[in-house]
Structure 1
Amino acid sequence: MRIGELAAAAGTTARALRHYEQAGLLSSTRAANGYRHYADSAVVRVRNIRYFLAAGLTLEDVRVFLPCLDGDVAAARPSGRGLEVARERLAVLDARLSAQTEIRDRLAGALRQAEAAGVQGAGS
């Protein structure tokens, strides 16, 4: 199938497919006219890539799951390395959330102080 057909079948864009291919997660052959051609099984692979990305993993993280991208990854037993990657990604996300929460709290505190001091917005 051509790139547009795969994108439609997998619920993504041709640009994303080219990105996955560049990252080494997806492969295609080239037709005589230069168009990419994908096997029908690529639909499952792309959906699995998107499953991992939606779970917060990066394309580099997804690379660990290459051996199982063509199967039912949601039902598969996770590998030790897969669990390790997921834990590492979760730690990164937790750190980002913590940093964002601190920034939010500082802004909320500054806003409370400004309101308590009677400072009004520029539009008043």
Structure 2
Amino acid sequence: MLIGELAELAGTSARTLRYYEEQGLVRPQRDTHGYRQYDEAELKVVHEIRSLLAVGFGMDDIKPFVECLRATGSGHVCPDSVAVLRRKLAEVDGLLAELADVRLRLHTQLTQALAHRETPCSSPSPTPPSTRSC
């Protein structure tokens, strides 16, 4: 299939496919006129690339998955892919811990703000209560 056909089937653009080729991830054949020709295996590779990008992997992280996919038919079973998965999982766990800390701090601040708002002002003021700020 030509680059336009692959782009349409993969839900991407020809420009993106050329970028993947520059990164060494997609391997087109060239016909006698120099046009890129892709076989069905490249569609699977492009789907793998796009799914990994969608969950936050970078282009360098994706290379072991593509190599593994070409060698075994599955991008996740080779030692290099497993190492990248472990590293990415540890990164995500760290981000989740940071987010949990931020959430706790925000919850504490909100609780304090609501408690302060519900507490009447300690000093009397000549300003009517509806316009008074504490």
Across the aligned residues of Structure 1 and Structure 2, the Cα RMSD in angstroms comes to: 3.1
Runs of 4+ in 1 over 6 A off after TM superposition: 29-34
Number of aligned residue pairs: 116
Q: What 5-or-longer segments of structure 2 have no aligned partner?
A: 119-134
Distance 1:113 1:43, change over 3 A: same
Q: 1:27 to 1:108 in 2, by over 3 A?
A: same
Contact 2:30 2:36 in 1 (8 A): yes
Q: Cα distance, 1:55 vs. partner?
A: 5.1
Structure-to-structure mapping, 1:104-119, within 5 angstroms: 104-118=103-117
Identical-residue share of aligned pairs (%): 37
Q: Following TM superposition, by how much is the alpha carbon of 1:15 offset from its aligned partner in structure 2, in angstroms?
A: 4.7
> Counterparts of 1:46 and 1:86 in 2: how far apart (Å)?
19
The alpha-carbon deviation at position 102 of structure 1 amounts to: 1.2
Gaps of 5+ in 1: 120-124
Q: Is the 8 A contact 2:2 2:38 kept in 1?
A: no
CA–CA distance in structure 1, aligned partners of residues 73 and 92 of structure 2: 25
Residues 9, 43 of structure 2: 8 Å contact kept: yes
Alpha-carbon distance in structure 2 between the residues aligned to 1:73 and 1:28: 20
Q: Residue type matched to 1:72 in 2? A: G
Structure-1 residue corresponding to 2:123: none
Asked if 2 retains the 8 angstrom alpha-carbon contact of 1:64 and 1:82, the reply is yes
Counterpart contact for 2:2–2:37, Cα < 8 Å: yes
Tell me the TM-score normalized by structure 2.
Answer: 0.65
Greater Cα radius of gyration, structure 1 or 2: 2
**Contact persistence 2:68–2:78 (CA under 8 A):** no
CA distance in 2, matches of 1:21, 1:81: 21
| Letter of the structure 2 residue corresponding to residue 7 of structure 1 | A
Cα pair 1:6 1:38 within 8 Å, conserved: no
Q: Deviations over 1:71-121 (max 9, x none)?
A: 6316x7x122221111011001111111122112212221221121118xx
Higher RCO, 1 or 2 (CA under 8 Å, sep at least 6)? Answer: 1
- Tell me the TM-score normalised to structure 1 length: 0.70
